[in-house]
Amino acid sequence: MISKRIIPCLDVREGRVTKGIKFQNNIDIGDPVALAQFYYNEGADELVFYDIAASYQKRGIIKEIVRETASKIFIPFSVGGGIRTIEDIRNVLLAGAEKVSVNSAAVTNPEIISMGAEAFGSQCIVLGMDVKQVEPCEKNPSGYEIVINGGRKYTGIDALEWAKKAEKLGAGEICLNSIDADGTKEGYEIKLTSLIASNVKIPVIASGGAGNPEHLYEAFTKGDADAALIASMTHYGTYTIKEIKAYLTSKGVKVRSMI
């Protein structure tokens, strides 16, 4: 049976991984390629680079990182952040990424999903959704609303409706980030995860709030997620991927073991 995936997310700003990652090993802690290799050897099932470039001019740097990473690690990885056009998608795919995630640009221009899926296949188009809980109302019957621009701007779009629409448009996967849970280390937004995961047929990656292995267990069982994004819990060396996988295995969740 298929394994649940564990996906470390690396935030990259102008060529360096941010968040002051602290590893005990002797690797350059801010070098995205070195970190990607570290996680590859540790048993990560996939990786995400999130590009937080300060300006358009600096965007080229991520392509170099992708190119170098692609020649050193042999698991799928995706690139998100600042993807606005079909050309942007083409560039990161040609540089060697397996998938691209579109977020704000898909809200303002949903066609980027269908055009991307048609040109490169659904399997490489990931819809990134940033979601905040709101009072259920006529416009937002699910009680969850899509926010863009890093959580600053409410769109008035219902999260569940948007997920279903993106699936129809040809998204191959959804990366579901709860802005409320993000950074809390108190666990994923399970109700939201389960709501979206049970209403679409494409895989859903839970994101935001992971602080310990139990949180991943909840996302995979109660939340029905297919994959879980992690960041600080492994970046700071609090847990290793091996430890997380050992915990999940002991609880009966199937994960890929590193043999």
Partner 1 sequence: MIAIVDYNAGNLTSVGRALEHIGYSYIITSNPQKIMDASKIIFPGVGAAGTAMKNIKSLGLDKALISAFEIKKPILGICLGSQIIMSESKENNQKCLGIMEGYTKSFSENTGLKIPHMGWNGINIEQKHPIFAGLKKDEEFYFVHGFYPLPKNRKHIFATTDYGIKFPSVVGDGSLIATQFHIEKSGKAGLEMLLNFCKWNPS
The strand pairing partners of 153, in sequence order, are: 148
Tell me if 98 contacts partner 1 by CB under 8 A: yes
- What letter does residue 57 receive in the DSSP assignment? G
Q: How many residues interact with partner 1 (rule CB under 8 A)?
A: 31
Tell me if 91 contacts partner 1 by CB under 8 A: no
Positive/negative CA dihedral, 137, 138, 141, 147: negative
- Which of 11, 45, 51, 226 is catalytic? The answer is 11
Whether 11 is a known active-site residue: answer yes
Whether 158 is a known active-site residue: answer no
Can you tell me the distance from the alpha carbon of 157 to that of 34, in angstroms, rounded to the nearest whole number? Answer: 39
Tell me if 207 contacts partner 1 by CB under 8 A: no
Task: Report the residue from 10, 210, 227, 233 that binds partner 1 according to the rule CB under 8 A.
Answer: 227
> Could you tell me which stretch among 91-99, 108-116, 188-196, 232-240 binds partner 1 (CB under 8 A)?
91-99
Can you tell me the distance from the alpha carbon of 45 to that of 252, in angstroms, rounded to the nearest whole number? Answer: 18
> How is residue 58 written in tokens?
């600096």
Can you tell me the distance from the alpha carbon of 129 to that of 200, in angstroms, rounded to the nearest whole number? Answer: 14
Question: How far is the CA of 149 from the CAs of 89, 178, 196, in angstroms?
Answer: 19, 14, 21
> Could you tell me which stretch among 108-116, 148-156, 195-203, 242-250 binds partner 1 (CB under 8 A)?
195-203
Q: Which amino acid is at 24?
A: Q
Tell me if 202 contacts partner 1 by CB under 8 A: yes
Residues that are catalytic: 11, 130
Residue ranges binding partner 1 (CB under 8 A) = 1-5, 40, 45, 70-72, 74-76, 93-94, 96, 98, 120-123, 172-173, 201-203, 226-227, 256-257, 259
